[in-house]
Amino acid sequence: MPIKNRFAEMAAEITEWRRDFHEHPELMYDVQRTAGIVAGKLRAFGCDEVVEGIGRTGVVAVINGKANGSGKVIGLRADMDALPIQEQTGVDYASKTPDAMHACGHDGHTAMLLGAAKYLAETRNFDGKVVIIFQPAEEGGAGGRAMCEDGLMERWGIQEVYGMHNWPGQPLGKFAIRPGPFFAATDVFEIEVEGKGGHAAKPHETVDSTVCAAQIISTIQTIASRSADPVDQIVVSVTSIESSSKAFNVIPQRVAMKGTVRTLSPRMRDLAEARLSNICTSVAEAFGATARVNYVRNYPVMVNSEEQTEFAVEVARSVAGECDEAPLVMGGEDFAFMLEERPGAYILVGNGDTAPVHHPEYNFNDEAIPAGCSWWAEIVEQRMPAA
């Protein structure tokens, strides 16, 4: 079954929604305008229930099928928030908000799921119930966790849940997915090295926190190169360094560093945290300094369930004719919290040859809309076929 004709007919309308969201990006949980528009459209579509304020600013809608003999309840999720980036696309619907843009395509995800919701509310050609989920704060705010903590899965009896993300470099409208671990756990750390400051011309009278910090940065690279099994995926990156002095002739008392750890298994996650702490403490002690480490576990590994992934592949093939095996991704995705609550699958839809996500020149490709909408709709109709 190829792309549904209804979505080809609706493409211009869905594109208009998407470009409006793009023009008015909102960050983290502050997505009141977007959520309000989403809720208004869902009510206009005739959804059986629309609830706002789940996970602070999330929106949930329920669409009942023609029958409910199957007793099945499927959740479909899209994210609504933008990124704190100054847009450089030059399109006529570019962001009107300084230092905010939809640089990851959440405007497209929201518009596609709205399109699917409109179709499903019109046709109701399924036996069961679909729960439409619009989530805030995917970009670092753990909005998925907030919605789960608000009782998302229990309140609506969701049995399995599906998500989608556009993917630059993947052929336009083509799908890719993999079972098991897919997106990495995304932990962060802060390190503060305390030495003894002094004049740069008299280093022997100081405990140089900058040299100590440099050695720590070099040594923690051995977590990946020498502590981890070479077949396991792990990334340890220091991304920020700041000293307590800005002068040319002062050895600073303190150096603060920030960074991230990306892993794809609980074992590697535990190893990284333990080794990071040990290295910082030991290296600092060797220099006569001290080091304090604050390690925070953020998004967990996103793990696709085997059965639901196989089904997602079948649906993708019915829409696009094929479905590729996706690579492992060391980026994070807070749909992981929903997949910890319920079995499900997360798929990539091709955005074509475009700038990468999180780039100021990125733009969601509107030509992917019919394929994405069709996949959402077919997930429901094939998983809960009408009698």
106 annotated ligand binder: yes
What's the N-to-C CA distance of the chain in angstroms?
A: 18
**In this structure, what DSSP letter does residue 211 have?**
H
What's the rounded Cα separation, in Å, for the pair 275 and 330? 20
Structural contact between residues 78 and 110, judged by C-beta atoms closer than 8 angstroms: yes
The secondary structure of 99-116 as a DSSP string is: T-B--SSHHHHHHHHHHH
Cα–Cα distances in angstroms (integers) from residue 313 to residues 56, 255, 322, in the given order:
33, 49, 8
Position of tokens 């001290």?
A: 290
What's the rounded Cα separation, in Å, for the pair 28 and 131? 22
358 annotated ligand binder: yes
Structural contact between residues 77 and 60, judged by C-beta atoms closer than 8 angstroms: no
Question: Which residues have CB under 8 Å from 131's CB, separation 6+?
Answer: 60, 61, 62, 73, 74, 75, 76, 156, 158
What's the rounded Cα separation, in Å, for the pair 173 and 108? 13
Structural contact between residues 338 and 344, judged by C-beta atoms closer than 8 angstroms: yes
Compute CA 101 distance to the chain's CA centroid, rounded to the nearest angstrom.
Answer: 16
What's the rounded Cα separation, in Å, for the pair 206 and 216? 18
Cα–Cα distances in angstroms (integers) from residue 124 to residues 48, 49, 65, 119, in the given order:
11, 14, 5, 8
Residues annotated within the binding site are 104, 106, 139, 165, 358
Residues annotated within the binding site for Mn(2+) are 104, 106, 139, 165, 358
